[in-house]
Amino acid sequence: MNNPDVVIIDYGFGNILSVQRGLEHCGAKVVLTADPKKILTAKRVVLPGVGAFASAMQALQSLSLVAVIRELSERETPLLGICLGMQLLLDESDEFGLTAGLGLIPGRVITVPDHTLTGKPQKIPHVGWAGLYPSHESVGWENTLLKNNCPGECAYFVHSFMAVPTEQSHRVADSFYGEHKIAVMIGRNQITGCQFHPEKSGEVGLKILRRFISG
Amino acid sequence: MRNIRLIARLDIKGLNLIKGINLEGLRVIGSPNEHALRYYQQGADELIYIDSVASLYGRNHLGGVISAAAKNIFVPMTVGGGICSVDNATEILRSGADKVAVNTAAVSNPRLITDIAECFGSQCMVLHVEAKLVGPDRWEVYTNNGRERTGLDVVSWVKQGVELGAGEILLTSVDREGTRKGFDVALVKAVSAIVNVPVIASGGMGHPDDLVEVVNEGGADAVAMADILHYNRASIGEIRSTAKNAGLGVRYYE
């Protein structure tokens, strides 16, 4: 069989089917696997994820995938982490006690603020659609997965935790929840993470997936 | 400003999209996924599928419909009706649904709410409540698609459901459902006042202005619409414009 366009890491966490359907709709040939060999030889890799940080890391460890994913970064294989899959890219998470992440993008994962900037209580998880805005106006999105998107376009979010990258330069796009600015797309070299679900964000998300498979 | 969600609700019997009045007198509208695709293309923020006779047969049968929908619909989908176990929920989620809505089985076995929430996260576990007005500001919980009374008070049941792990409330007014008389704003207000999870108002949307009222006065986080869409009385785009012009936050969509 020809090498697929995208390998989705199937480690038991996440709406893998929806991610697969989204990528296939965009014309990609997709394989789901937890086989280190197939992951290491992939053209592009998606790390999906819905659920708890610690158990997801545990699952990756028990499948011996932590080193494999780090190796992808060495090989400069394009990697897209979605939702929890994005959070796993960072150094550590506060979720139910401190847990180490993959450490591919410096930073940590903390809870979404339960109050707005003006002190009003707000709902957690943050569920719904929010606009995407360039983190660095002057740089824009030219060399990112958002190249074909416009500032202000909305994506779909479901999350209780959020990424705080250490380096401002790793922020690609921000959204606002209760006036708090949240990093919702981060990137470093060939690695991208998005907090929202491109596979559930209608045409806005499909544009991101198309860009990922054509890049 | 948070964006309120515009949700198309599809009630299904067998293979047909249906619509009733007060959840009764069901009329066949057409093919569920033809309508679903149209609502997706019009910019619906989410879809809710309810298998309206499933509880009678003790099982949700929408797996096939959802798995077909998931091929060309890329917004969140919630599926309800007859979901009675974690296994059934798993099957529905594997078909491509993002959340399950549970009503009847949660009433007979509240533990199911916790089991589903622990397995898939609270954001996945929508408590569906069918409410009927029984006195001044008092509503009773109904099950089996509005057919059976339970004796439970809506407000205390919702409170209990959220404590057990429900991450969202789909609140259907049996009295208003299919009537086009507007939402039961007092019901939505009573429920949204006591929970910190999103509340979806369902039942009675006759005109786009009804949405503005249930959000502003009832505190709804989302609105489920059926009749108004199925009979082409307004498109999602028109409803979005009405909401936007009234100053509500909605998804930027073009």
- Chain segment B54-77, per-residue pLDDT in tens: 877 777 789 999 999 999 999 999
Say which CATH number the domain at B39 has: 3.20.20.70
Say which CATH number the domain at A156 has: 3.40.50.880
Q: Count how many domains chain B has.
A: 1
User: Of B5, B1, B2, nearest to B211 (Cα)?
Assistant: B5
Dihedral sign, Cα of residue A120, residue B185, residue B106, residue B27: negative
Q: Is B137 inside a domain boundary?
A: yes
Which of A21, A125, A129 comes nearest B71 by C-beta?
A21
Q: What is the pTM of this model?
A: 0.93
Name every chain B residue with its beta carbon within 8 A of the beta carbon of A22. 74
Q: How far apart are CA B77 and CA A197, in angstroms?
A: 13
Domain holding A181, by residue range, is 6-214
Instruction: Out of A83, A95, A153, A170, pick the active-site residue.
Output: A83
Q: How far apart are CA B165 and CA B124, in angstroms?
A: 10
Name every chain B residue with its beta carbon within 8 A of the beta carbon of A208. none
Count CB pairs under 8 A between chains A and B. 80
Question: Taking CB atoms and an 8 Å limit, are B196 and A121 in contact across chains?
Answer: yes
Domain holding B226, by residue range, is 5-245
If you average pLDDT over residues B16-32, what whole number do you get? 91
pLDDT in tens, A76-115: 999 999 999 999 999 999 887 899 999 999 999 999 999 9
DSSP E strand boundaries for chain A = 6-9, 30-33, 45-47, 79-82, 92-93, 99-100, 107-111, 126-131, 133-134, 154-159, 161-165, 171-177, 180-188, 191-194
Which pair of tokens denotes residue A103?
């450490």
Q: Which residues pair with B47 in a beta bridge?
A: B8, B77
Active site residue A83: yes
Q: How many helices (H) and strands (E) does chain A have?
A: 6, 14
Q: Is A1 inside a domain boundary?
A: no
pLDDT in tens, B102-160: 999 999 999 999 999 988 888 899 999 999 999 999 999 999 988 999 999 999 999 99
Give the three-state DSSP class for B64: helix
ipTM of the complex: 0.91
Q: How far apart are CA B196 and CA A148, in angstroms?
A: 36
Q: How far apart are CA B125 and CA B106, in angstroms?
A: 11
Question: Taking CB atoms and an 8 Å limit, are B96 and A18 in contact across chains?
Answer: yes
**Dihedral (Cα; B217, B223, B226, B228), 10-degree rounding:** 50
Q: Is B253 inside a domain boundary?
A: no
Q: Count how many domains chain A has.
A: 1
Name every chain A residue with its beta carbon within 8 A of the beta carbon of B197. 123
Q: Which of A7-21, B6-20, B239-253 has the lowest mean pLDDT?
A: A7-21
pLDDT at A49 over 90: no
Q: Is B18 inside a domain boundary?
A: yes
Q: Which residue has the tokens 């606009």?
A: A131
Q: How far apart are CA B130 and CA B108, in angstroms?
A: 14
pLDDT confidence bin for A4, thresholds 50/70/90:
confident
Name every chain A residue with its beta carbon within 8 A of the beta carbon of B96. 17-18, 21
Q: Is B234 inside a domain boundary?
A: yes
Interface residues on A facing B, Cβ-Cβ cutoff 8 A: 15, 17-18, 21-22, 25, 50-52, 121-125, 127-131, 152-154, 156, 158, 160, 178, 197, 199-203, 205-206
- pLDDT in the model for residue A50: 81
- pLDDT in the model for residue B1: 66
How far B41 CA sits from the closest chain A CA (Å)? 9
